[in-house]
Chains A and B, each alone.
Chain A
Amino acid sequence: MDHAHAISVRGLRMRYGDNDVLTGVDFDVRAGEVRCLLGPNGAGKTTTIEILEGFRVRSAGEVSVLGQDPARADEDWRARTGVVLQSWRDHPRWTARRLLTQLGGYYTPYSTPERPRPYDVEELLETVGLTELADRKIATLSGGQRRRLDVAIGIIGRPELLFLDEPTAGFDPQARREFHGLVRRLSGLEQTTILLTTHDLDEAEKLADRVLILAGGRIVADDTPAGLASRVEGEAQVRWSIEGERFTATAADPTGFVRGLFAEHGEDVADLEILRPRLEDSYLALVQQHEAGDAEAAAQMFTEVTG
């Protein structure tokens, strides 16, 4: 497969028993890009990312990650990828410094002059803001501090590709902002390709170069945040009335449309309204319908809105 792409997915399907979780997913992620996999809970985000991490075996389809099939990838491939896990109580007696040193050790044989592995532990602790807490038992860290340690462990091997599954779930707004800064620094500093999942549109817009929206087991949109917004916002709805009779029209250029309206009807135009649908509204509608159990209809509707 082509090497400008860190990830290439074609016709990916996943089925648990009778339940189709992914029904044919296609996408590519370019090297160095930050890509967000956005979607409501149960849309198949975690399944997708776990297949790409090589932790889960897919039912069908072609997947290439850094040039290898993750289901059969070797330990050299493993050394080039990083996974940020959502831990909850592992290594309670270890300290952050000791654990980073221990796990980082596995990357030493994979060090190259261009990409020295692992990261220097002190430098990494500084990057994630844990220097002060480096020698405290991990059991005594707060949820947010623990998650920063999870990120540090994920990147200790200086990965070319980093996976993050719902990295900010359970964060307060402050921790979330700090985390976003960290992700941007990572991507800027090392040209690391980053794939992260979230159910938060705002987060996706802030972090991603491109956003994939997953619903009903398939991709319903694949675009830049700005592109997504402009697709939804392309057509505005214009409502007005003339002598008590109500009219509705959609217009790509509502300002021009209204100018024309006034030129034609002048003072007779009344009750004028211009409704610009926003990405957020469309996404919220998608989530609501998805959570009501009608995943297929939700995916369909969203495709029409953005299509």
Chain B
Amino acid sequence: MNAPLHAIRLGIGRGWTEFLQSIRSTQDQGYYVFTGLLVLGYLFLRRNTEVEGTGLMVPSVALPSILGALVAFGVVIGPAYALAMEKEDGTLLRHKAVPHGLAGYFTSQLVLQSLGLVPQLLIVLVPSFLLFDDVMASPAGWFTVAWVLALGMLATMPIGMVIGSLVPSTQKVGTWGMLPVMVLAGISGIFYPVQRLWDWVEVLAQVFPMYWLGLGMRSAFLPEGAAALEVGGTWRTWETLGVLGAWAVLGALVTPRVLRRMSRRSTGSQVEAAREAAVQWVR
């Protein structure tokens, strides 16, 4: 029996178990429902507002961008919190203490965080199809959705894992994870077109994968004509592929090193110190 492969199989099983436990927990259900209602409420209120020069209503134009943002947010903040917490509470250390446990643990995170997107997307997508018209311009768009999602996830999840590995404590994920992601989401053309921002912000936004994830999703859902709203007036499909691909490669190179460094530093004393800090904090 090949021990590393066996560990990866166990990791997939663990990710699946964690996913089932997550969708059965009222806390996680509450989170999905809350974000779902927030998005649908916004779209519903503006269902009759037309976006200038497209002949499309706000829900059609905004939905793909919002889906892109939910994916980026989910796979950055999700693993950032999970890793920060699980290196403090001893989950990571438990896996360090069993043979090939870390390979299994990181596999399970990959599986869990990817699966976590399914309910997140469904809770927005399904009602949107029932409530709004012109959500998906052509069925061929689903193919684009699939590759943009897959590549977008590979491009953004490493950012979350690196943040989770580097933050000194779970309470710092807000500052070092949430804040930068909010800023990036804010400038990434999800809420208004990047062209309306200052030039340097427009350039900065296009360095990060969030912008391209949103653009790719818009290219999947919207009709050809809507490309007129974008930078250069086209969907820039090859550029999307290129930038997301580059981030995915960078992630694949950097993340294992960062995770290894984090695991090396993980000790019982560190877990104990986190426990004491948490007790202090609650007081």
Interface residues of B in 49-102 (CB under 8 A from A): 86, 89-91, 93-94, 96-101
B85 → A minimal CB distance (Å): 9
Point out the residues of chain B lying under 8 angstroms from A203, CB to CB. Answer: none
Given the known A-B contacts A78-B97, A106-B104, are A86 and B268 also in contact in the complex, defined by CB atoms under 8 Å?
Answer: yes
B282 → A minimal CB distance (Å): 12
- Interface membership of B267, Cβ < 8 A: yes
Q: Judge whether A105 and B99 touch: CB under 8 Å.
A: no
Given the known A-B contacts A88-B90, A105-B10, are A55 and B99 also in contact in the complex, defined by CB atoms under 8 Å?
Answer: no
Task: Identify which of B13, B21, B99, B272 contacts A107 (C-beta below 8 A).
Answer: B99
Task: Identify which of A91, A103, A109, A157 contacts B6 (C-beta below 8 A).
Answer: A109
B1-39 interface bits toward A, Cβ cutoff 8 Å, 1 = contact, 0 = none: 111001100100110011001100100000000000000
A68-108 interface bits toward B, Cβ cutoff 8 Å, 1 = contact, 0 = none: 00000001101100110111111101100010001101111
- Could you say which of A46, A76, A105 has the most chain B C-beta atoms within 10 Å of its C-beta? A105
Q: Judge whether A75 and B100 touch: CB under 8 Å.
A: yes
Point out the residues of chain B lying under 8 angstroms from A55, CB to CB. Answer: 93, 96, 266-268
- Interface membership of B111, Cβ < 8 A: no
Point out the residues of chain A lying under 8 angstroms from B261, CB to CB. Answer: none
Please, how many angstroms separate the alpha-carbon atoms of A50 and B272 in the complex?
13
Please, how many angstroms separate the alpha-carbon atoms of A53 and B271 in the complex?
15
B253-283 interface bits toward A, Cβ cutoff 8 Å, 1 = contact, 0 = none: 0000000000000111101100100000000
Task: Identify which of A93, A105, A109 contacts B21 (C-beta below 8 A).
Answer: A93
Given the known A-B contacts A78-B97, A110-B3, are A87 and B90 also in contact in the complex, defined by CB atoms under 8 Å?
Answer: yes
Please, how many angstroms separate the alpha-carbon atoms of A267 and B91 in the complex?
73
Task: Identify which of A83, A89, A93 contacts B25 (C-beta below 8 A).
Answer: A93
Task: Identify which of B1, B93, B101 contacts A108 (C-beta below 8 A).
Answer: B1
Q: Judge whether A83 and B97 touch: CB under 8 Å.
A: yes
Majority SS at the chain B contact face? helix
Q: Judge whether A56 and B98 touch: CB under 8 Å.
A: no
A177-201 interface bits toward B, Cβ cutoff 8 Å, 1 = contact, 0 = none: 0000000000000000000000000
Q: What is the number of residues of chain B that contact chain A, defined by CB distance less than 8 Å?
A: 33
Total A-B residue contacts, Cβ distance less than 8 Å? 90
Given the known A-B contacts A93-B21, A93-B25, A109-B1, are A75 and B269 also in contact in the complex, defined by CB atoms under 8 Å?
Answer: no
Q: Judge whether A87 and B100 touch: CB under 8 Å.
A: no
A301 → B minimal CB distance (Å): 28
Given the known A-B contacts A55-B96, A90-B90, are A102 and B13 also in contact in the complex, defined by CB atoms under 8 Å?
Answer: yes
Please, how many angstroms separate the alpha-carbon atoms of A100 and B17 in the complex?
13
- Interface membership of A165, Cβ < 8 A: yes
Q: Judge whether A165 and B268 touch: CB under 8 Å.
A: yes
Point out the residues of chain A lying under 8 angstroms from B101, CB to CB. Answer: 103, 106
Point out the residues of chain B lying under 8 angstroms from A165, CB to CB. Answer: 268
Q: Judge whether B25 and A107 touch: CB under 8 Å.
A: no
Q: Judge whether A106 and B267 touch: CB under 8 Å.
A: no
Q: Judge whether B94 and A107 touch: CB under 8 Å.
A: no
Point out the residues of chain A lying under 8 angstroms from B99, CB to CB. Answer: 75-76, 78-79, 106-107, 109-110, 157
Please, how many angstroms separate the alpha-carbon atoms of A93 and B99 in the complex?
23
Point out the residues of chain A lying under 8 angstroms from B272, CB to CB. Answer: 86
Please, how many angstroms separate the alpha-carbon atoms of A202 and B221 in the complex?
71
Residue of A nearest to B6 (CB): A109
- Interface membership of A153, Cβ < 8 A: yes
Q: Judge whether A102 and B94 touch: CB under 8 Å.
A: no
Point out the residues of chain B lying under 8 angstroms from A82, CB to CB. Answer: 97
Q: Judge whether A85 and B17 touch: CB under 8 Å.
A: no
Point out the residues of chain A lying under 8 angstroms from B271, CB to CB. Answer: 85-88
Please, how many angstroms separate the alpha-carbon atoms of A88 and B275 in the complex?
7
A101 → B minimal CB distance (Å): 10
Q: Judge whether B91 and A91 touch: CB under 8 Å.
A: yes
Q: Judge whether B94 and A50 touch: CB under 8 Å.
A: no
Task: Identify which of B10, B104, B268 contacts A85 (C-beta below 8 A).
Answer: B268
Interface residues of A in 21-56 (CB under 8 A from B): 46-47, 50, 53, 55-56
A209 → B minimal CB distance (Å): 24
Please, how many angstroms separate the alpha-carbon atoms of A93 and B2 in the complex?
30
Please, how many angstroms separate the alpha-carbon atoms of A153 and B22 in the complex?
23
Residue of A nearest to B20 (CB): A93
Q: Judge whether B97 and A85 touch: CB under 8 Å.
A: yes
Given the known A-B contacts A102-B14, A106-B104, are A87 and B25 also in contact in the complex, defined by CB atoms under 8 Å?
Answer: no
Task: Identify which of B3, B6, B94 contacts A87 (C-beta below 8 A).
Answer: B94
B7 → A minimal CB distance (Å): 6
Given the known A-B contacts A75-B99, A78-B99, A83-B97, are A89 and B6 also in contact in the complex, defined by CB atoms under 8 Å?
Answer: no
Given A53-B97, A90-B94, A109-B99, 5 further pairs, Cβ under 8 A: A75-B3, A82-B97, A90-B86, A98-B17, A110-B99
| 20 sample A-B contacts, Cβ–Cβ < 8 Å, listed by A number | A47-B269, A50-B267, A50-B268, A53-B97, A55-B266, A55-B267, A75-B99, A75-B100, A78-B98, A85-B93, A85-B94, A86-B271, A87-B271, A88-B275, A90-B90, A93-B25, A106-B99, A107-B99, A108-B1, A153-B94
- The 7 A-B pairs with the shortest beta carbon distances in the complex, nearest first, are A87-B90, A79-B99, A109-B3, A75-B99, A109-B1, A90-B91, A83-B97
